[in-house]
Amino acid sequence: MPGPGDDQRPSRRSARVADVRRYGQPPGLKDRRNEEHWAGRLYMRDLSPYFAWLAMRLGFSPNQLTYMMMACGVAAGVVVSLPVSGTGALWTALGGAVLIQVYLLLDCVDGEVARYLRQTSVAGVFLDRIGHYLSEVSLLIGLGFAAQGGWSNGGYAELGLVAALGAALIKAETDNVVVARAKSGLPADPSGGDRALRPRSTGIALARQAASMLRFHRIIGAVELSLLILAAAALDVVLGTSTPAAIRVLTVAVAVVAVVQTLLHLVSILASRRLK
């Protein structure tokens, strides 16, 4: 990356895709341990500069792109929840999965445009976090209604709400570490790097490591969940059941994982050095 004195980046109208990669994707972007999604590292960061270039040419601001990201995430949940069955449910699941991919793309693009235009801001970070909350919660609620078989009350719809609450609480637990440290006059990131994240108890540390290796918590993430919903809907079509059996199994699974993960995440934070 060039230094401040030799940064001669072109204007947004004359920028090339190579310029977006250079100035919008700083070194180490793909290696951010807790912020960069595996799909971003695998393929989306290779595609996003083309769309960031297009967004700049069209005059979009970073925050406008973030609002579009939010809209795609919420729309994915609405589409998945549509009261259809059989092959109709497969199409809504496919629509939800496509919308989540667009959501992920825009999540990459808004940051790249902000870095290129030097328009990064606290408000932008806030909106980005809200977008992630809304998208995951919407998709989980949509899954609950899909399992219920329509927009009506029932056990599966309530399980979707439980899973959505769990997903929101997990994010709130993470974010409130920063809030608690700020209110106590401490820097946002604890000293010690990865050591600060590890629980002081050996037993809890081993349990955390095992859970991390199994990665079961990922099934409540928007990208992974959208693909699982699509797979479950396809299985229901193949089985030809009168009720969305596979979707219902998935709904139970994500509700259990959300509740367990909420508790484990809370214990892991309290047992670590993050609040010290």
Q: For the residues of 112-155, what is the DSSP string, one character each?
A: HHHHHHT---HHHHHHHHHHHHHHHHHHHHHHHHHHHTSSS-SH
The predicted pLDDT at position 29 comes to: 73
φ and ψ at residue 159, rounded to 5 degrees:
-65, -40
Q: With b meaning 16 or more CB within 10 Å and e meaning fewer, what string describes 85-104? A: beeebbebbbbbbebbbbbb
The predicted pLDDT at position 270 comes to: 87
The predicted pLDDT at position 34 comes to: 60
Q: Which tokens is 127 given?
A: 């909106």
The predicted pLDDT at position 33 comes to: 59
The predicted pLDDT at position 20 comes to: 94
Q: Which residues of the chain have pLDDT under 70?
A: 1-7, 30-35, 191-216
The predicted pLDDT at position 198 comes to: 58
The predicted pLDDT at position 4 comes to: 47
The predicted pLDDT at position 251 comes to: 97
- DSSP result, 158-220: HHHHHHHHHHHHHHHHHHHHHHHHHHTT--SSPTTTHHHHS-SSHHHHHHHHHHHHHTGGGGG
